Amino acid sequence: MRIPAAFCGIAGFKPTQYRIPRDGVVPLSTTLDSIGPLAISIACCAIVDAIMAGELPAVPAPIPIEALRLGVPQTYVLDGLAPEVANAFAAACASLSSAGARVVDIPLTELTSLAAINAGGGFAPIEAYGWHQPLLARRGNEYDQRVRQRIERASGMRAVEYIRLQGARADLISRVAAATAGFDALLMPTVAITAPPIAAFERDEDYRRLNALILRNTSVINFLDGCAATVPIPNTGAPVGLMVVGHHGADHRLPCSRSRHRVGVRPKRLTRGGLCSLRPKPGCLRGFGDFQNGCSSLGVVRPVCVSSGHLQLPNDRNPFARQHRQGKLFGKAVAKSHRSPMTSATQ
């Protein structure tokens, strides 16, 4: 969800994996898959995330921006950045620093081991092969052949290699957690490049190179089973995303701030019937931090509001508003929705 959000200039949120049930989801990787929302703002993401997790939307405790300690890894995630991405990311970090956050460069050399750990292909190909193998045997010609080749290459992985991969992942999670324990969040570009044109993927070698570069930074957080949000960074060209990474299980504490200082883009007002209201109201949901009066340090639009545990949606034409008034978005209805077919998005 973070990659399409970054490419399209909107917000996206990847929760810690256990937070949202994956019942009924067609898996890519049972180890890495998470279910999360894309929306026009982080506030809207917070609302959808809560509903999918079977919770009533709640207002997390605000964190003053002056209290935030944000780490910027200098290893791996900044390699090969497109100039426009590097410039936008540097400007976002400087903007947060000038607002009072302590933005600290950190080596995080633990990430250098990722390439060696995943040299055999990692979790996604072998776990995808486990699910797709019967279909590939019957209808392999109907698959995208690049995707098919990537999945089928994992067929030779041995059980001992998979077990060692699990152990290496647990070890890396532990080492990175220790190295980042003193920080409220990490900052990095969501994607190393802006969205390439379709024509750029015509040659197989370009497809492999661009695909790896696009997936790289979000895949790091999937491997570490962290939570992460992406928000758009203002720039004059193609959209660039800023990824704010929280610790495992700390989804509700993914920091924003009391400050009205903004580094994100304010999307245009939605048309009548849209999900989010741009007018601040008492009790506005603050999402993953403090959305005081509808603003945050990450510059989201003013969110829909919560009053006595109820969503205030814009108008009667919105089907979500009608369902809410009929009591279908909460309680048992949420539990039932977990069994509905959904599509997994891990990125």
Confidence grade of residue 346 (pLDDT, cut at 50, 70, 90):
low
Claim: this prediction has a pTM higher than 0.85: no
Cβ-proximal residues to 37 (8 Å cutoff; 6+ apart), any chain: 1, 12, 13, 44, 45, 48, 49, 52
Q: Would you state the structure tokens that stand for residue 136, as one six-digit string? A: 């590939």
Which residue type is seen at 51? I
Q: Return the pLDDT at 64.
A: 84
**Residue/partner pairs of 153-160 with CB below 8 Å, 24 or more apart:** 153/121, 153/125, 154/121, 154/125, 154/126, 154/128, 154/129, 155/129, 157/120, 157/121, 157/125, 157/126
Task: Give percent of the chain with pLDDT exceeding 70.
Answer: 72
226-245: pLDDT as tens digits: 999 999 998 889 999 999 99
Per-position b or e across 309-318, b if 16+ CB within 10 A of its CB: eebebbeeee
Is residue 277 scored above 70 in pLDDT?
A: no
Length of the chain: 347
Q: Is pLDDT of 207 > 90?
A: yes
The residue extents of the domains of the chain are 2-108+180-342
Give tens-digit pLDDT for 251-265: 887 754 333 344 555
Q: What is the pLDDT of residue 172?
A: 98
The string of pLDDT tens digits covering residues 92-139 is 999 999 999 999 999 999 999 999 999 999 999 999 999 999 999 999
Q: At what angle do helices 159-179 and 204-224 cross, to 10 degrees?
A: 60
Domain covering 2-108+180-342, topology: Amidase signature (AS) enzymes (3.90.1300)
